[in-house]
A and B are shown apart, each in its own frame.
Chain A
Amino acid sequence: MLKVERLSKSYGSGKIKAVDNIDFHVKPGEIFGFLGPNGAGKTTTIKMIVGLLKPDSGTILINGVDNQNEVIKAKRQFSYVPDDHELFEKLKGIEYLNFLADVYGVDQDTRSGDMIRYLKMFEMEKAVNDPIASYSHGMKQKIVLIGALLNDPPIFILDEPMVGLDPKSSFNLKELMKERCSQGKSVFFSTHVLEVAEKLCDRVAIINKGKIIAQGSMEELKGGAADKESLENIFLELTE
Chain B
Amino acid sequence: MKETLNLTKMLLSANFGFSKMAYDVKNDPKKLGMPLLVLFVFASMIPVYVLYMKLLKSIYLQLFVLGQEGTVFAILFSGASIIVLFFGMIYAMSTYYFSKDLDRLLFLPLKEESIIMAKFINMIIYEYLIIIPLVLPAVIIAFEDMGGILYLIYFIVGALLVPVIPLSIGTMLVMALMKFINLEGKKDMLRTISMFAILIVILGIQLLINKAATSIPPGSEAEFLEAMLRNENSMVNMVGKSYPPAIWISKALYGSSTLLGAGNFLLYVAISIGFGAAMIRVGRKFYIEGYFNRGDMTSKRSKVDYNDEIRARRIWQSIFLNDMRIVMRTPVYLFNCVSIVVLLPVILIMMPLLSGTGEMDIFTGLYVGNEKLFALILIGVFVFVAGTNPTQSTTVSREGSASWINMVLPIRKKDMFIGRLLFPLLLQSAAMVFFIIGIYFIIKPGIATVVISFIGGFFASLPVIAFGLIVDTWRPKLDWDDPQKAVKQNMNVIFNMLGAILYVLGVGFGAYALIFKVGLAIEVIIAFIIILGVVLTGAEYKLFKNIG
Contact = CB atoms under 8 A, between A and B. Distances in A.
A16 B310 CA distance: 46
Contacts of B309: 94, 98, 129
B405 A111 contact: no
The 3 closest A-B pairs by CB, nearest first: A12-B27, A75-B410, A86-B401
Given A88-B322, A111-B312, A72 B410 contact: yes
B329 interface: yes
Given A52-B408, A80-B408, A94-B309, A86 B400 contact: yes
Contacts of B548: 54
Contact of B303 (A52, A76, A80, A126): A126
Nearest to B314: A102
A127 interface: yes
A72 B409 CA distance: 8
A214 interface: no
B304 A86 contact: no
A13 B28 contact: yes
A103 B411 contact: yes
B34 to A, nearest CB: 16
Given A54-B548, A126-B301, A11 B306 contact: no
Contacts of B299: 130, 134
30 contacts: A11-B27, A12-B27, A13-B28, A15-B27, A86-B404, A87-B405, A88-B399, A88-B402, A90-B326, A91-B326, A94-B310, A95-B321, A95-B325, A98-B309, A98-B310, A98-B311, A98-B312, A98-B318, A99-B321, A102-B317, A103-B409, A104-B410, A106-B312, A112-B310, A115-B310, A126-B303, A130-B301, A130-B302, A134-B297, A134-B299
Among B301, B309, B325, max chain A CB count under 10 A is at B309
Given A90-B325, A102-B315, A106-B312, 5 more contacts: A12-B28, A13-B29, A87-B402, A98-B318, A108-B312
B409 A100 contact: yes
Q: Which secondary structure dominates where chain B touches chain A? A: helix
A55 interface: no
A interface, size bucket: 35 or more
A90 B330 contact: yes
A51 B301 contact: no
Contacts of B330: 90
A82 interface: yes
Nearest to A105: B315
B504 to A, nearest CB: 34
Contact of B329 (A90, A103, A116): A90
B30 interface: yes
A108 B322 contact: no
A107 interface: yes
Interface in A88-139: 88-91, 94-95, 98-108, 111-112, 115-116, 125-131, 133-134
